[in-house]
Amino acid sequence: MSDDLTAEVTTESATRAALLAPAALVLRRHDFRTRPVASSGSQPMLLAEDPLFLIGIVEFVGASDLPSVEAGASTQLADYVADAGAKQWDTYLVLLSAAAGTERGWSEDVTDILYNTRYLRRMVRWGVVPTESSLSSALRPFLSLPLPSTPGPIDPIQRLVNELPSHGVDTEKTATALAQWRASGDGDGDDV
């Protein structure tokens, strides 16, 4: 976690879940208004709202505790947005866990939660740690995209070529694949 994020988190209430305070900071940096609320069963919830979304965020320990946490939090969030007008169609419950992704399993309970869109949409994020990077990744669907560093149109093919090495792809293989793609006629740009 960056030093400024660490300093801000230490001033948050000690009773909040470990991921909620830093999540609030990440969301505030993206122009969300946030506030903590007590959830049913004394499970803390973070509410975050911007012009597009209303998000309830809760933390759970692991797959065995996910169904009960989700049930209480989704009921409370659905009650909260009952009179929210059009915003009720853009309401999400985000369930965060520090448990490793391998712990999650794909039990029937987890699958039911992921595919349940009744009253609100649900997202489950595993392996989240209280760092700006991890929380930004977990909350990416709600965060605004960064502005391009160069003015004008961006060449997506060149951007891909530039990004692949940071994901462990060999630059020679990238150049070979790109040359083969262009030679096949798919990359000539005539049909754009």
3-class secondary-structure state, position 76: helix
Asked whether the predicted pLDDT for residue 180 surpasses 60, the reply is: yes
* Pairing relationship of beta strands 44-49 and 33-38 according to DSSP bridges: antiparallel
What's the confidence (pLDDT) of residue 170? 86
Cβ(114)–Cβ(124) under 8 Å?
A: yes
* pLDDT value for 104: 54
Structure tokens that stand for 11 in this block: 């001033």
Is the pLDDT at 189 greater than 60, yes or no?
A: no
Q: What is the pLDDT of residue 101?
A: 65
pLDDT-derived band at 14 (thresholds 50, 70, 90) equals very low
94-150 pLDDT, tens digit per residue, is 999 998 766 555 567 777 888 888 888 999 999 999 999 999 999 999 998 777 676
- At residue 85's C-alpha, the angle toward residues 46 and 73, to 5°, is 30
pLDDT for the residue numbered 3 = 40
